[in-house]
Amino acid sequence: MLSAFTQAPINKPDERPFGPRVMGTTRAGRLVVVGIMMTVLVFAMLIQAKPLPQISVDQMVDEATIHENNEVHVRGTVKPNTVSDEGNTFTLSGKDSEVHIDASGISLPDGLIEGTTVAVEGKLKATENGWTIKATQVQTGCPSKYETTNE
């Protein structure tokens, strides 16, 4: 059948003028493919990496043989007079225990000052001076959270 305006054949709705159908035979087929792809992506994200639980310095030292040569996420207080002049090493203390932190090679937050509570992620190693964490990340709290206000 020819169109009165273009003299071109009119296609029936089920016919496609160019080649084979793309990505499945129907709209439902394409939706199934997209659904499967989304499901695989979600599972990949869940399996990828689980966050480390944050533990105290004392708990880590008490269980040091379990954590040795593994990644740890430790919370403690920066011991006074232990931050190096370069600022890349310091000692993190708990109530009864201490651990040396080597943060060379990473950028440190501005809030890293003696006496503040920080969280450190890194690999725990035994040294002749005790335990050392080779830090991959150091986090401090928001300074404004700890400032007093005069009202």
Q: What percentage of the chain reaches a pLDDT higher than 70?
A: 75
pLDDT for the residue 35: 92
Q: Is the dihedral of CA 21, 27, 28, 30 positive or negative?
A: positive
- Among 11-15, 69-73, 94-98, which is the least confidently predicted range? 11-15
In this structure, whether the domain defined by 54-146 belongs to CATH 2.40.50.200 is answered with yes
Domain ranges of the chain: 54-146
Q: Where are the alpha helices (DSSP H) in 7-134?
A: 27-48, 57-62, 64-67
- C-alpha to C-alpha distances, 56 to 15, 21, 33, 76, 97, nearest whole angstrom: 69, 60, 47, 6, 10
- Torsions phi, psi for 30 (to 5 deg): -65, -40
Q: Please state, in angstroms and rounded to a whole number, the distance separating the CA atoms of residues 51 and 119.
A: 14
pLDDT in tens, 78-125: 999 888 888 788 999 999 999 999 988 888 888 788 888 999 999 999
- What count of other Cβ atoms lies within 10 Å of the Cβ of residue 42? 10
